[in-house]
């Protein structure tokens, strides 16, 4: 009798524990096996738990798309299409590249910018792979306010010669829009340029993306010396050295519009509408941007382009790495104002339409979208939408918001504000 009561108590305890854990326990039948109904209940509970976990993971992944991060290191190449169709040429040595720079700036060899460029040329890729994050030269306290200034922003330079057709598709070189920066003679020479010199720098977004400016200075010097044409792997444009020099990034990153083309595409989510997307933001360590829901109206599309270039300038500024070297997560809401749009066109003879009665600023949110075939390789594109209280709502209307956002900055019938002059050029500019 005692043994029977103990067994009953043990069975009851097991049932209570199962109920407390929230899972049904199959009830043994006369033969000691779980009955079919209890087994089905247990299977159903397991399926519900798995579905809940999948839903939680999907929600986590979806939420991550709303957290846009700037790169802590930037790898960006320029492809120099070399003259001649003969045997593969030798890549210039680092000493030869330094000599080209010294010959280009004979009166400025002691200038800090020239010295930095010469130092960057000397850095082998293996050095960048081993280099620490933004840390003072001899180690030390990462909270030290001087660490940011002492840390290296110019990491490495890769130099190699590769067959042109490995890097640039034939259709790209035959596209007139992508080669309009060439003379007819230069365009006709493209099929004969069988070899390409790749200059790929690794740098950080510091000091007005100085690493990019120095890379572009090097490309300009080398292309001029070797008679090369310059191909941009992200925008797919091929230009001559004069066009490249005219578009180069100036100190103060004021002329972002010269660096970043804006390209129209059909908008599959809004039939009859267009979307505009930037190309080339990788060089700044930033995602590319896409504004959808735009009408096929040239004045509106022009103002949307001004809007995207102003946002691009804000992205570059907000993405500057901090003292720790950890990649920066951009704010959930970014405010774009008319001043940023105007500054993005610094140095251009351009006038942006002014709306004196408008707020002349607008808040935006960025959300990463799925990759599409036309996107730059291995690079993220983020959609420009309203802040989340609006854009997360079930009845959110991107077309209406896009027009409202543009109207907050510009007015179709307003006056104009001219872009300012470029900052005084340094020796490497």
What's the pLDDT at 429?
Answer: 64
What's the pLDDT at 423?
Answer: 52
What's the pLDDT at 7?
Answer: 45
What's the pLDDT at 56?
Answer: 78
What's the pLDDT at 199?
Answer: 97
What's the pLDDT at 419?
Answer: 56
DSSP 249: P
- Rounded CA-CA distance 355/359 in Å is 8
Tokens of 370: 């799925």
- CB of 324 closer than 8 Å to CB of 393: no
Distances (CA, A) of 427 to 101, 118, 375: 11, 13, 35
Per DSSP, the residues of 54-112 read: HHHHHHHHHHHTT--B--SSEEEEEEEE-S--SSPPPPPPHHHHHHHHHHH-TT-TTSH
Question: pLDDT tens string for the chain (429 positions)?
Answer: 444 444 444 444 444 444 444 445 555 555 555 678 888 888 888 888 888 888 778 778 888 899 999 988 899 999 999 998 889 999 999 999 999 999 999 999 999 999 999 999 999 886 554 444 444 333 444 445 554 445 577 889 999 999 999 999 999 999 999 999 899 999 999 999 999 999 999 998 988 899 999 999 999 999 999 999 999 999 999 999 999 999 999 887 679 999 999 999 999 998 999 999 999 999 999 999 999 999 999 999 999 999 999 999 999 999 987 666 567 889 999 999 999 999 999 877 778 888 888 999 999 999 999 999 989 888 999 999 999 999 999 999 999 999 999 999 998 654 445 555 555 556 666
- CB of 234 closer than 8 Å to CB of 97: no
Task: Give the CA count within 13 Å in the CB-facing half-sphere of 160.
Answer: 11
């Amino acid at each position: 009798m005692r043994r029977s009561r103990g067994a009953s108590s043990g069975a009851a305890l097991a049932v209570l524990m199962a109920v407390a854990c929230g899972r049904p326990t199959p009830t043994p039948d006369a033969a000691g096996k779980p009955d079919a109904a209890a087994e089905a209940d247990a299977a159903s509970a397991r399926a519900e738990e798995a579905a809940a976990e999948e839903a939680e993971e999907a929600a986590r992944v979806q939420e991550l798309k709303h957290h846009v991060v700037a790169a802590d290191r930037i790898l960006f190449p320029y492809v120099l299409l070399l003259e001649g169709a003969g045997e593969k040429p030798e890549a210039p040595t680092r000493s030869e590249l330094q000599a080209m720079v010294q010959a280009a700036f004979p009166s400025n060899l002691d200038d800090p910018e020239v010295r930095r460029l010469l130092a960057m040329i000397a850095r082998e890729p293996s050095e960048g792979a081993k280099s620490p994050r933004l840390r003072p030269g001899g180690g030390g306290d990462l909270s030290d306010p001087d660490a940011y200034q002492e840390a290296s922003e110019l990491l490495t330079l890769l130099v190699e010669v590769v067959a042109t057709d490995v890097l640039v598709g034939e259709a790209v070189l035959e596209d007139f829009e992508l080669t309009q920066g060439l003379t007819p003679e230069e365009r006709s020479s493209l099929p004969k340029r069988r070899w390409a010199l790749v200059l790929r720098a690794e740098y950080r977004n510091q000091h007005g993306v100085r690493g990019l400016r120095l890379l572009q200075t090097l490309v300009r010097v080398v292309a001029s010396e070797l008679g090369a044409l310059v191909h941009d792997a992200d925008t797919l444009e091929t230009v001559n050295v004069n066009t490249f020099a005219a578009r180069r990034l100036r100190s103060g990153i004021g002329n972002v519009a010269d660096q970043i083309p804006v390209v129209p595409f059909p908008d599959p989510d809004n039939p009859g509408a267009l979307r505009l997307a930037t190309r080339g933001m990788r060089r700044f360590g930033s995602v590319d941007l896409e504004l959808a829901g735009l009408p096929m109206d040239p004045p509106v599309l022009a103002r949307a382009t001004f809007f995207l270039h102003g946002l691009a300038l804000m992205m570059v500024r907000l993405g500057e790495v901090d003292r720790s070297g950890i990649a920066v997560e951009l704010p959930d809401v970014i405010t774009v104002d008319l001043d940023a749009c105007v500054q993005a066109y610094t140095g251009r003879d351009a006038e942006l339409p002014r709306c004196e009665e408008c707020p002349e600023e607008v808040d935006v949110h960025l959300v990463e979208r799925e990759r599409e075939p036309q996107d730059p390789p291995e690079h993220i594109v983020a959609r420009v939408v309203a802040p989340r209280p609006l854009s997360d709502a079930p009845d959110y209307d991107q077309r209406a918001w896009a027009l409202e956002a543009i109207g907050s900055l510009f007015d179709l019938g307003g006056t104009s504000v001219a872009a300012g002059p470029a900052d005084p050029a340094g020796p490497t500019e």
